[in-house]
């Protein structure tokens, strides 16, 4: 759940940061998103005025968004710390979803995972460097190279790519308040996920039906991302609605139902059994002090 808080903080920080270059998309994106709060009955309008620090997105908005943009990463940092502390209460999960039964089932984080994660990190750096050095503008919008102008609305206002699925959910609902609720709900629902998934089996590997449903959920997520980039017209609206329906049905109907009904495959006896094909010796490095688990 702290993870979801980090996710929300990160989204807020990214949104606030995107306002800072003060280009056309910054300005109009800020206008659209802050306007969402006006959907809240009774107090909505007042909240929007309060966020803006005036009666439209203007300099005071930019100032306070910068302060918040500076602040939130440090808040995120604090929550990451709590997140890791919380992890040490329960210990790490594993792809098989079964509890370790002895030292042959676990490895110390260092050097095993530090070495393995370094490889992944460098692969990521290469992709990142390719974007930064050879296509720095590819994920941006050309309109943001035109300075903010309250008098000229860009023909299409789109969020950055990482917000597109949620933007599609927002637009899939014909009612503004309903759209805002579903968009918020699409993330809030992650908070209650532990109670929606009632299955005693922790790993999807041993739940073929739930696994298929999860993969389909991923498909619906990417379909929504695609629809979010399309104009709000048919067939995209209809497709986005179907995908939105499935997005929520997965959490609210399929997971609880499968949790109660699905039998699942037999679980292996221990972690080392399937991974090392029948136990295996204690790795030398495992003699080092294993990661402390409070």
Partner 1 sequence: MAVLRSRLRRAFGVALFAGGLVLAGGGPALAAGEALPPPDTKFSFDGLFGTFDRASAQRGFQVYKEVCSNCHSMRLLSYRNLRELGLSDAEVRAIAATVEVSDGPNDDGQMFERPGRPSDRFRSPFTNEKAARAANQGALPPDLSVITKAREGGADYIHALLTGYSDPPEGFQMMDGLNYNKYFAGRQIAMAAPLAGEGQVEFKDGTTATVEQMSRDVTTFLAWAAEPELESRKQMGVRIILFLTVLGGLTYAVKRKIWSDVH
Q: Which residues contact 61 (CB under 8 A, 6 or more apart)?
A: 19, 30, 34, 51, 52, 53, 54
Q: Which is nearer to ligand HEM, 73 or 111 (by Cβ)? A: 73
Token look-up 């992650």 returns: 190
Gyration radius of the chain over CA positions: 23
Which C-beta is closer to ligand HEM: that of 28 or that of 250? 28
Tell me how many helices (H) and strands (E) the chain has.
12, 0
Q: Say which entry of ligand HEM, partner 1, none residue 7 contacts (CB below 5 to 8 A, set by partner kind).
A: none
Q: Which residues bind partner 1 (CB under 8 A)?
A: 28, 31-32, 35, 39, 107, 111-112, 115-116, 118-119, 122-123, 125-126, 129-130, 132-139, 141-143, 145-146, 151-153, 155-158, 161, 164, 167, 170-171, 173-176, 179, 226, 228-232, 237, 276, 280, 283-285
**Catalytic status, residue 117:** yes
Q: How far is the CB of 188 from ligand HEM (least distance, A)?
A: 21
Using the minimum distance from each CB to ligand HEM, give the nearer residue, 125 or 145.
Answer: 145
Residue closest to ligand HEM (Cβ): 17
Task: Read off the tokens for 4.
Answer: 């979801």
Distance of closest approach, residue 197 Cβ to partner 1, in angstroms: 31
**Chosen from ligand HEM, partner 1, none, partner binding at 240 (C-beta under 5 to 8 Å by type):** none
CB closer to partner 1 out of 161 and 211 = 161
Q: Catalytic positions, please? A: 88, 92, 116-117, 160
């Amino acid at each position: 759940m702290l993870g979801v808080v980090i996710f929300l903080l990160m989204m807020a920080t990214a949104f606030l940061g995107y306002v800072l270059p003060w280009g056309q998309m910054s300005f109009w994106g800020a206008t659209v998103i802050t306007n969402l709060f006006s959907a809240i009955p009774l107090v909505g309008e007042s909240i929007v005025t309060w966020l803006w620090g005036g009666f439209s997105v203007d300099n005071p908005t930019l100032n306070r968004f910068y302060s918040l943009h500076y602040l939130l990463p440090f808040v995120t940092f604090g929550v990451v710390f709590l997140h890791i502390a919380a992890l040490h209460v329960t210990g790490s999960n594993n792809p098989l979803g079964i509890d370790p039964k002895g030292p042959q089932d676990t490895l110390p984080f260092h050097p095993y995972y530090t070495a393995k994660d370094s490889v992944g990190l460098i692969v990521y750096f290469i992709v990142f460097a390719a974007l930064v050095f050879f296509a720095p503008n590819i994920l941006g919008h050309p309109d943001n190279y035109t300075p903010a102008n309250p008098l000229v609305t860009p023909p299409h206002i789109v969020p950055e790519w990482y917000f597109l699925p949620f933007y599609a959910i927002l637009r899939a609902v014909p009612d503004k308040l309903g759209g805002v609720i579903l968009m918020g709900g699409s993330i809030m629902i992650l908070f209650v996920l532990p109670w929606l998934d009632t299955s005693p089996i922790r790993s999807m590997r041993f739940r073929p039906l739930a696994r298929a449903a999860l993969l389909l959920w991923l498909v619906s997520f990417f379909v929504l991302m695609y629809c979010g980039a399309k104009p709000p017209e048919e067939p995209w609206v209809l497709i986005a609605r179907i995908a939105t329906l499935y997005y929520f049905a997965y959490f609210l109907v399929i997971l609880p139902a499968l949790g109660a009904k699905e039998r699942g495959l037999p679980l292996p006896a221990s972690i080392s059994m399937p991974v090392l094909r029948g136990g295996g010796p204690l790795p030398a490095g495992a003699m080092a002090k294993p990661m402390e688990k409070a």
